[in-house]
Amino acid sequence: MPVPVVIGVIIACTAPTVHDGDTLRCGKTYIRLFGVDAPEVRRGKTAAEPLAYEARDLLFSLTRERVGCRVVESDRYGRQVAKCWSSASPDLNAAMIRSGLATEWRRYSKGLYAAAQDEARLAQRGSWAPGATPRPAR
C-alpha cells in the first residue's frame, strides 16, 4: 500500500539518524534527499561503493543540530523525498553535491543542482578528484 504524502509538508527534527549520504531519518520518517545520488554503504554482503562512508559522514556532520525538510514527493520505498536545510547549511542537497561525495540525479532534479555539481567537478572534489572512481551519471 503506498504511503500517503502531502506535498509541501515540512518535517523538522534535531540530530536525525543518517543512513547514508542521501538518506536520513527524523523520528520514524525516512527522508531521501531530492535530486541527490550518494554512493551506497555496505548492505549485507554487498560491498560499499567508493566514498560511501565519506558521504555518510558529511551528511552526519551537517545534520547535528536542527534540520528541516520540505517534502516534494514519496518514493517507491515509502521514503519522503525532500529538499532539506539545517543549522549548518541552507541547502543540504546542494551541499552534498557540491562536496563531490554525491552527484546530481538529473532524472529527478531536472538540472536544479547543475551549478553545485559543476562546482565540485571544476574543483575536483570527491568523485571528481583525479584518480577517483567516477559515479555513474543518472
pLDDT at 6: 63
122/137 Cα distance (integer angstroms): 16
Which residues, at least 6 apart from 50, have a Cβ–Cβ distance to it below 8 Å?
A: 39, 127, 132, 133
Within-domain flag for 31: yes
When computed from its CA atoms, the radius of gyration of the chain, rounded to whole angstroms, is 14
Within-domain flag for 132: no
**Burial class of residue 132 in the structure, from the number of CB atoms within 10 Å of its CB (0-12 exposed, 13-18 middle, 19+ buried):** middle
CATH number at residue 42: 2.40.50.90
pLDDT at 2: 44
Within-domain flag for 38: yes
pLDDT at 117: 96
Low-confidence residues of the chain: pLDDT under 50: 1-3
